[in-house]
Structure 1
């Protein structure tokens, strides 16, 4: 108990408020992220490709949202707090539109607005945490946000399963979700503080983005990060539908309970291990920790492929596959955020976080589009696509190995302390 209290006291109050906000945001995010494809394909009647087009368009809109978020977060007029409140307001409007969308144009417009708002949240939230933590705290600070994410997602998935079983019209799930996001908006408005360093002069938008784009070490990380984000996108969007329609072989909705149990297991397992994994991997350089995460993603995707092609019962392999993906996720999160935070000049934290977050726009543009297309092509491609995806992790391992081999050059360019970026 004393150790727990000591851990809690190392973070200031605003860190815990940001974590509470992350939990609420992810509860709302979990309500729509996992169930949106299932509702619009199996209930509204859209094709998987059409839903994939909508979600990919949302990711493209998210690219603009992240640029806007990075610039607004560094603006003295907007700062972190106002940018965050704007982001969640856009998400609320989008969810209300999804609740009434029965034609593709309205669905497409709602998903674009959803992508714009949701994408604006991540850079400004991560920049706020960077403002609130010292360098030696950041691994565990981002791990704390990871725990909050996992708890929020678990709550959102559980709520979504129960609501879908109870609601006659599945789209009402999005209207209820808007209330969760409204609660998040109220908490952050009432309790959060502006964290942008008051003494920092805001760089011009073009010079700030130019500095980030010329940073070769950031670019090296972004290459590997594109693979990570594509894996996350496919796991969140295509994987539940793949399990429902190809592994459990049930399109009438009766498999929702099994899928929810699997997703809840994945999230709960990740939440339980987030802080221990962050502390254990904290002994390594940050690039080495990400190498471990990439290796785990490759193994997890290989196990997903096996759930569909192995003669063993799918529900015997699926928990192992999702447990491995959960480990990969919790190994990734603290160290990806910490590398970007340490690379960024103090006056450009929002810009660097936004540029890193662009990987999520690209990943979530490619993932749903390719995933939806593959699922529409039938069982051979739906199954073997996961094997092909697992093979791509080799490229990520190579990219991170190159980053691992250059710690002294990275340190000399970014900090007078030799181990500042790749390790604490």
Structure 2
């Protein structure tokens, strides 16, 4: 018997041992119409030995119960037949029948068999004069045992159903937790991919472009231009390092020093120094929380990155303004343009739309070959704060 089974059924074992001990005492001291009592002693010994050998497994093993319960019925017959007061053994016999039977109908039939066997035993020891009292006692015993057994079985059934429901609920909760964890991991990976693409990757792309130009200046012995290239290259590398550290710290890269308008001016200035394209910024302070400001800053970064990589434009205009409950960021360039209906190989525009969609915003791209590109990104905002607009000014062009 395993330790778990023993702990679960320990009170049944104690109850059986106590009942058998008391039955043995009654067998020795109780009245008997016979000159010898060895059949009763033998019944007690056989029952105890059988219980120790395999009967204790009958609570969990149907085969053990099928071998042990017939001995219980026989003992219910033999003991009262020798010593009438040992009919007390039914106190443990009925519980054994109900606990070790798999079905209620089997337990009821065995309870009737125990009652009949015990009644026959009492008739053998007490004679026909005790027939009425025997029928009354055994009838009440069987009915009471069956009623109690059915009630306890229904309670046990409900408890088992509840246990299964609890296990299913726990399994469902665990499955849901695993699914949420997986979704969270995937969402975090997508977020990091967007952040890296919009910050570190773009900065590195600018550094590569500046390095290529510096190499050309070096090859053509343009030391003045090379000095300027190296200065811009150092600033770009420092900006990439700062944004990388901020990204690792789970902060909002580019928003650590001032407002969205200020961040747009710095972004435009750096773009101008890297590409020689004049970037004009017209930014109004809008009622946006920090996360929304980061989203629009990332849109501006992606738009300017596409201008640098594909448009070949000489000038770019960046506007930030409120419009009927929305905050709109518009980036306009005079570059080569493209067909928005044609699929693109990169991830920038797709990531831009996904980022805005997650924030509850929209993105519209208007372009045509040879006619430049307009990127409109809008996010829901609160009432306009009425702060003064930043003065529209072009960022100074850096001499190459």
Range of TM-score over shorter length: under 0.3
Larger helix share, 1 or 2 = 1
Normalised TM-score (structure 1): 0.22
Larger radius of gyration: 2
Greater relative contact order (CA < 8 Å, ≥ 6 in sequence): 1
Larger strand share, 1 or 2 = 2
Normalised TM-score (structure 2): 0.23
